[in-house]
Amino acid sequence: MAVSTTSAPITYATRVDKVGARYQFTRALRIAVVVLYATISLIPVFWMVTAAFKSRPDVVAIPPKVFFTPTIEGFISLLTKRVLLPPGMMEEYKQRTDLNFAERIMAERGQRITGPSQYGQRLLNSVIVASASTVLSVLLGVLAAYAFSRFNVPGKGDLLFFILSTRMLPPVVVTIPIFLMYQQLRLYDTHLGLILLYTVFNLSFAVWLLKGFIDEIPREYEEAALVDGYSRLQAFRKVVLPQAITGIAATFVFCLIFAWNEYAFALMLTSERARTAPPSIPTVLGTGGIEWSAIAAGTLGFLVPVIIVTFALRDYLLRGVTFGALRK
C-alpha cells in the first residue's frame, strides 16, 4: 500500500526569510572578523600607550603588568637630559625647596635634570619636512595629473610608467648616491634636502592617484565653462579643483603619512640639525640603561599628530582607498 506524502509549498515569504537570515548571519560573521582583526592589530598600540605611562620597574616587569600606577616619568625622561647623582648628593638635592614637579619625580629615581632633550626639535623637524614636502607633492601632482588626464601628452604611457617606477625603487638602493650628491650640494643635514627628496618620492604616487580622480570628472563641465568664456586656467580652478577636493585631501593624507614615517633617508641624510623624530626615538638610551617608557612616550607623541590629521580627513581617505569602485 503506497503512502503519499506531500510537503508544504515553499512560499515567497519563506524564501525571503531564508535570504534575510542568511544575510544577517553573513553580516554578523563579517563584523566579528573585522572586530577580531582590529583587536589583534591594536594590541601593539595598546601596549605602547600603557608602557608610556609605566614606571621603569613596571615596564620591565616579568610577567608584564596590566594593572599599574600611571606616571609621567617616561615623558619627562623623553624631554629632558639627566645625570645620576651619588646617594649623598641625591639626599641633599631632594631637600631643596625650589624643585619643580618634574625634578621631584626624577629625583625619586636618583637623577637630576640638567636641561631639555632634543626630542622637541626633532619632532618640529618632522612637522616642517613632512608638511612642506606634502604640500609641494600635492600641488605639483595636481598640475601634472591634470595635464596627463586632459591633454594628449606625447609618450604619455611611458612617462606615467617612468614616474611610477621611481616609487618602486627601494630607498636603500639610492641612499649612497644621494648622500654623495648632497655632500657636494651642501644639502646634507638640511631641511631643504629632505623636503626635496620626499617631494620627489611622493610625487609619483600623487600623480597616479590624482589622475584617477580627475579622470572621473566629466570633460563636458570644462567644455561648458570654456564656451561661457572661461580660460583653461579659470576652468581648472573653478570647475575641476572643487570637484577633485576629495582626491586632493586623500592624496594629502597618504603623502603626509609617508613623509611623516620615513626612516631610511632621515637616518642616512641627516645628523643633528635636520634629523627628524623616527630615527631619533630608538636612540633614547637614558641614564643607566634603555628607557623603554621614554621610547614608548616618544612613539606615542609622534603618533598622535598624524592620527589627528587622518581622523579629520577620514572620509576623504576612505574615498581615496575605494576610488574607481563606485562612480557618482
- Which pLDDT value is given to residue 327? 45
- Which pLDDT value is given to residue 324? 46
For residue 325, name the pLDDT band (cuts at 50, 70, 90).
Answer: very low
pLDDT tens digits, one per residue of 286-300: 555 678 888 888 888
90, 151, 203, 292, 299 from 284: Cα distances, Å: 24, 52, 33, 8, 11
Q: Is the dihedral of CA 53, 56, 60, 61 positive or negative?
A: negative
Q: Assess whether pLDDT exceeds 60 at residue 9.
A: no
Q: Assess whether pLDDT exceeds 70 at residue 7.
A: no
Q: Assess whether pLDDT exceeds 70 at residue 81.
A: yes
pLDDT tens digits, one per residue of 112-152: 888 888 888 999 999 999 999 999 999 999 999 998 888 88
33-39: Cβ within 8 A, 24+ apart: none
pLDDT tens digits, one per residue of 30-68: 999 999 998 998 888 888 899 889 888 888 888 888 888
The answer to whether 243 and 149 are in contact (CB under 8 A) is no
- Which pLDDT value is given to residue 25? 80
* Poorest-pLDDT segment among 85-94, 153-162, 241-250: 85-94
- Which pLDDT value is given to residue 139? 94
The answer to whether 309 and 303 are in contact (CB under 8 A) is no
The correct answer on CATH 1.10.3720.10 for the domain covering 119-322 is yes
- How open is the CA angle 258-261-263, to the nearest 5 degrees? 110
Residues 6+ apart with CB under 8 A from 67: none
- What residue type is assigned to position 29 of the chain? L
109, 119, 315 from 282: Cα distances, Å: 22, 11, 33
Between 171 and 3, whose confidence is greater? 171
This prediction has a pTM of 0.80
- Which pLDDT value is given to residue 33? 93
For residue 280, name the pLDDT band (cuts at 50, 70, 90).
Answer: confident
Cis peptide before 282 (omega within 30 of 0): no
- Which pLDDT value is given to residue 285? 59
Q: Assess whether pLDDT exceeds 70 at residue 305.
A: yes
pLDDT tens digits, one per residue of 177-231: 999 999 999 999 999 999 999 998 898 889 988 888 888 888 888 888 888 888 8
pLDDT tens digits, one per residue of 254-278: 899 889 998 889 988 998 888 998 8
Domain positions in the chain: 59-116, 119-322
Q: Assess whether pLDDT exceeds 50 at residue 328.
A: no
